[in-house]
């Protein structure tokens, strides 16, 4: 049923040609390079073989997820006795697994079900996305439009930090969160005492995400027309007013696409949660709980499959409903204009 | 059994925390902007820098800059960071058979996966360009990008489930083995092939990224160039080789390097599917295990530094191209 919902949502968006729209908007920027193609339909060279190959690959790509979907609606006995693809002959499906995963719990799932972990995921993801995009936007404006002496150096420095794998900061940051900073026995910075709280998980996400977020938003903010900002300045507006009245409203599409990017990235993260959630269920997000379930239950698919499905339903919904922004954000970061 | 009241009981403090963080952030900047709007003259530049750029710099430095230096220092210390040991962590890592294997596997990943994802992505992008109704297929192939690697790993665990050949198969790959008259295998234990079965998960998860980006780039190729080549008699593979590939070369490099950095940091798939056992360990997972399982800070830090050194050339290349772009 979930899948049906997905398919309809997604067929709707397919019809609107959302990805195509993003691509077209990208093309508009580049039209001076050569005559851009108006649309696919104008192309005389469509190939049925290409269509067939792509269709087959698309189906192959979807089968694994589809298998998980079917499995999560099958009874325990059915799951262990035969493959999910054989279930289409008997059509013996049940919602029992979802009741266990969402509300009832089970001997293996614990008595909590998945909902508390989903709320943990939100409590990590929402602050992390808002703060990283918020601080990133402010910094991008400052780097693009506030002239100061080391502007270039700060820009390149921030960009270079993108190249630091987060593996490099896990241990020192964790030590910092639990024990502050000591130099030669003196406490230079006191402990933040946040280990085991949500802040200990979302704060690293903000820190790790900022260089990329700032860079992507900077790409956009720095391309705003100079005349517009100059005109506002001549009218007596200062940086705070220009930011609030001009830059912020104009950046909404860029912010949206980067926020979705960040949302998916943080929601889907495992490593940061594993290190900073402090090993307690109180702040563990869905991914962490799911990784533990997959490890400890191994083959208890009547629990693992619906749990996995629950965990991917939110990012998939975000993705399909906001696909246009998402793809645009992706392109902003990767295709050089 | 979870009741609504107990769920509410445990959830409201969490939701209150979310709202509190948002209130502090927006409250602070609300006041700052109201006050800042009154500041005139030269001092507004300084105030704007402190309030706009300050937090980002402080956060990025405490989160990435300073810890990176600390890890570098840690890598020259012993397991509990109490003594200096020089290059011992690095030399021991070079001799340790498990770490060498993790290193070797990482190299295998870096060479194989980016090539495959980029090739499939490029092939798909080219074929999508010749297709009429492409949006649906594109979305389906792109969909795994929205799924976590933990979720993806479980999806593929289900695909890879092992059953004895005499029993009905529950994993689709095992069933395909049966249809092909092969003996089903414990795919994740079957060294060294298990590395490739793990790669399948990563390739499945990330090919959509390359496809979308390359597809956009291919559509940017001016139509007249392609038409001219076609008038000259180029078609099919020749058109692809002489026009398409050279025209999107920069984008191919972007996709390749992104995939290389991604595989170098690869952790989730290995941690969820094999935990680095059965000879599938990679540097990133090994580094995590050294620090948080074996409690050897020094050696874990040394491995983190190795990962950093692997990413470094790509970072350098990126900074150079950004510089060139900005100076234009």
Residues 219-278 of B with CB under 8 A from A: 219-225, 230, 250-251, 254-255, 258, 264-265, 267-268, 271-272, 275
Taking each helix axis from N to C end, the angle separating B249-264 and B97-128, rounded to the nearest 10 degrees, works out to: 150
pLDDT in tens, chain B (328 residues): 677 888 888 899 999 999 999 999 999 999 999 999 988 878 888 999 999 999 999 999 999 999 999 999 999 999 998 999 999 999 999 999 999 999 999 999 999 999 999 999 999 999 998 888 888 999 999 999 999 999 999 999 999 999 999 999 999 999 999 999 999 999 999 999 999 999 999 999 999 999 999 998 998 888 888 888 888 887 778 888 888 899 999 899 989 998 999 999 899 999 999 999 999 999 999 999 999 999 999 999 999 999 999 999 998 998 888 888 888 7
Note whether A253 contacts B: Cβ–Cβ < 8 A. Answer: no
The confidence band for A129, taking pLDDT boundaries of 50, 70 and 90, is: very high
- What is the percent of chain B where pLDDT is above 70? 100
- What is the percent of chain A where pLDDT is above 70? 79
Domain boundaries, chain B: 4-74, 88-327
Interface contact A127-B22, CB threshold 8 A: yes
Note whether A278 contacts B: Cβ–Cβ < 8 A. Answer: no
Please give the pLDDT value at position A105.
Answer: 73
Give residue B163's region: left, alpha or beta (phi > 0; psi -120 to 50): beta
Is residue A86 over pLDDT 50? yes
- What is the percent of chain A where pLDDT is above 90? 53
User: Given CA atoms B22, B28, B29, B30 in this order, what sign does their dihedral have?
Assistant: positive
Encoded tokens for B13: 């403090």
Note whether B2 contacts A: Cβ–Cβ < 8 A. Answer: yes
Using an 8 Å CB-CB cutoff, list chain A residues near B316: 163
Interface contact A172-B71, CB threshold 8 A: yes
**What's the DSSP call for residue A74?**
B
For domain B88-327, give its CATH number from 1.50.10.10, 1.10.3720.10, 3.20.20.140, 3.30.450.20. Answer: 1.10.3720.10
Measure CA A164 to chain center. Answer: 20
Of A168, A268, A301, the CB nearest to B67: A168
Is residue A24 over pLDDT 60? no
Note whether B202 contacts A: Cβ–Cβ < 8 A. Answer: no
Is residue A295 over pLDDT 50? yes
Closest-CA distance, A148 to chain B, in angstroms, reads 8
Q: Does the interface predicted TM-score (ipTM) exceed 0.90? A: yes
- Can you list the domains of chain A with their CATH numbers? 48-94 (no CATH), 115-334 (1.10.3720.10)
Strand partners, A183: A186
Using an 8 Å CB-CB cutoff, list chain A residues near B176: none
What is the three-state SS of chain B?
A: CCCHHHHHHHHHHHHHHHHHHHHHHHHHHHHHHHHHCCCCCCHHHHHHHHHHHHHHHHHHHHHHHHHHHHHHHHCCECCCCCCECCCHHHHHHHHCHHHHHHHHHHHHHHHHHHHHHHHHHHHHHHHHCCCCCCHHHHHHHHHHHHCCHHHHHHHHHHHHCCCCCCCCCCCHHHHHHHHCCCCCCCCCCCCCHHHHHHHHHHHHHHHHHHHHHHHHHHHCCCHHHHHHHHHCCCCHHHHHHHHHHHHCHHHHHHHHHHHHHHHHCCCHHHHHHCCCCCCCCCHHHHHHHHHHCCCCHHHHHHHHHHHHHHHHHHHHHHHHHHHHHHHC
Please give the pLDDT value at position A9.
Answer: 30
Using an 8 Å CB-CB cutoff, list chain B residues near A146: 45, 48-49, 52-53
Closest-CA distance, A89 to chain B, in angstroms, reads 15
Q: What is the pLDDT of residues A170-198, one digit of tens each?
A: 999 998 888 777 666 667 777 777 888 99
User: Given CA atoms B48, B50, B54, B55 in this order, what sign does their dihedral have?
Assistant: negative
The total number of residues shown for chain A amounts to 337
Task: Please tell me the pTM assigned to this model.
Answer: 0.89
Identify the CA nearest to A218 among candidates A298, A138, A100: A138
Tell me how far apart the alpha carbons of residues A143 and A155 are, in angstroms, rounded to a whole number: 7
Interface contact B64-A311, CB threshold 8 A: no
Interface contact A131-B159, CB threshold 8 A: no
Is residue A221 over pLDDT 70? yes
Q: What is the pLDDT of residues B155-192, one digit of tens each?
A: 999 999 999 999 999 999 999 999 999 999 999 999 99
* DSSP reduced 3-state for A110: strand
Interface contact A287-B148, CB threshold 8 A: yes
Please give the pLDDT value at position A205.
Answer: 97
Interface test with A, best of B44, B48, B159 (most A CBs within 10 A): B48
Is residue A253 over pLDDT 60? yes
């Amino acid at each position: 049923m979930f899948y049906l919902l997905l398919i309809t949502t997604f067929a709707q968006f397919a019809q609107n040609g959302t990805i195509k729209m993003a691509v077209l908007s990208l093309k508009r920027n580049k039209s001076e390079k050569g005559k851009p193609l108006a649309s696919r339909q104008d192309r005389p060279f469509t190939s049925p073989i290409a269509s067939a190959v792509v269709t087959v690959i698309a189906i192959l790509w979807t089968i694994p997820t589809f298998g998980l979907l079917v499995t999560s609606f099958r009874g325990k006995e059915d799951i262990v006795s035969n493959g999910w693809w054989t279930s289409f002959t008997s059509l013996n499906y049940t919602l029992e697994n979802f009741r266990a995963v969402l509300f009832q719990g089970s001997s293996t799932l614990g008595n909590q079900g998945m909902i508390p972990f989903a709320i943990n995921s939100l409590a990590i993801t929402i602050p992390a996305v808002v703060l990283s995009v918020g601080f990133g936007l402010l910094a991008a404006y400052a780097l693009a439009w506030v002239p100061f002496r080391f502007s270039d150096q700060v820009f390149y420095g921030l960009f270079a930090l993108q190249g630091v794998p987060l593996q490099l900061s896990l241990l020192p940051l964790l030590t910092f969160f639990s024990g502050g900073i000591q130099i030669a026995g003196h406490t230079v910075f006191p402990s933040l005492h946040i280990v085991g709280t949500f802040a200990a998980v979302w704060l690293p996400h903000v820190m790790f995400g900022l260089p990329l977020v700032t860079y992507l938003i900077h790409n956009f903010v720095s391309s705003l027309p100079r005349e517009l900002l100059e005109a506002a300045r001549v009218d007596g507006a200062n940086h705070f007013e220009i930011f609030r009245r001009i830059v912020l409203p104009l950046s909404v599409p860029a912010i949206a696409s980067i926020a979705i990017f960040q949302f998916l990235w943080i929601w889907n993260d495992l490593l940061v949660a594993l290190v900073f959630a402090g090993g307690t269920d109180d702040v563990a997000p869905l991914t962490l709980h799911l990784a533990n379930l997959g490890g400890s239950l191994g083959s208890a698919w009547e629990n693992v499959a619906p749990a996995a499905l629950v965990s991917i339903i939110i990012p998939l919904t975000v993705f399909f409903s906001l696909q246009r922004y998402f793809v645009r954000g992706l392109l902003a970061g990767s295709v050089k204009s | 059994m979870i009741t609504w009241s107990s769920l509410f009981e445990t959830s409201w403090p969490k939701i209150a925390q979310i709202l509190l963080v948002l209130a502090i952030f927006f409250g602070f900047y609300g006041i700052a902007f109201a006050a800042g709007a009154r500041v005139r003259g030269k001092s507004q530049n300084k105030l704007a820098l402190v309030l706009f750029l300050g937090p980002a710099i402080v956060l990025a430095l405490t989160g990435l800059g300073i810890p990176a230096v600390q890890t570098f220092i840690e890598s020259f210390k012993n397991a509990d960071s109490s003594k200096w040991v020089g290059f011992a962590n690095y030399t021991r890592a070079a001799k340790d058979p498990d770490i060498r294997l993790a290193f070797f596997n990482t190299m295998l990943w870096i060479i194989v996966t980016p090539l495959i994802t980029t090739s499939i992505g490029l092939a798909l992008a080219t074929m999508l360009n010749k297709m009429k109704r492409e949006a649906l297929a594109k979305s389906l192939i792109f969909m795994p990008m929205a799924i976590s690697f933990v979720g993806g790993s479980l999806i593929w665990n289900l695909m890879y489930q092992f059953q004895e050949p005499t029993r009905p198969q529950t994993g689709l790959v095992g069933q395909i083995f049966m249809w092909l008259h092969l003996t089903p295998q414990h795919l994740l234990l079957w060294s060294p092939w298990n590395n490739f079965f793990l790669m399948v998960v990563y390739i499945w998860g990330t090919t959509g990224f390359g496809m979308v980006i390359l597809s956009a780039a291919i559509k940017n190729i001016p139509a007249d160039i392609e038409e001219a080549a076609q008038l000259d008699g180029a078609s099919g593979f020749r058109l692809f080789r002489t026009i398409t590939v050279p025209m999107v070369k920069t984008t191919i490099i972007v996709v390749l390097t992104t995939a290389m950095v991604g595989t170098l940091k690869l952790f989730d798939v290995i941690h969820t599917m094999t935990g680095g056992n059965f000879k599938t360990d990679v540097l990133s997972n090994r580094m995590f295990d050294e620090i948080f399982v074996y409690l050897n800070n020094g050696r874990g830090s040394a491995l983190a530094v190795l990962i950093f050194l692997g990413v470094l050339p790509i970072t350098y290349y990126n900074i150079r191209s950004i510089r060139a772009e900005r100076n234009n």
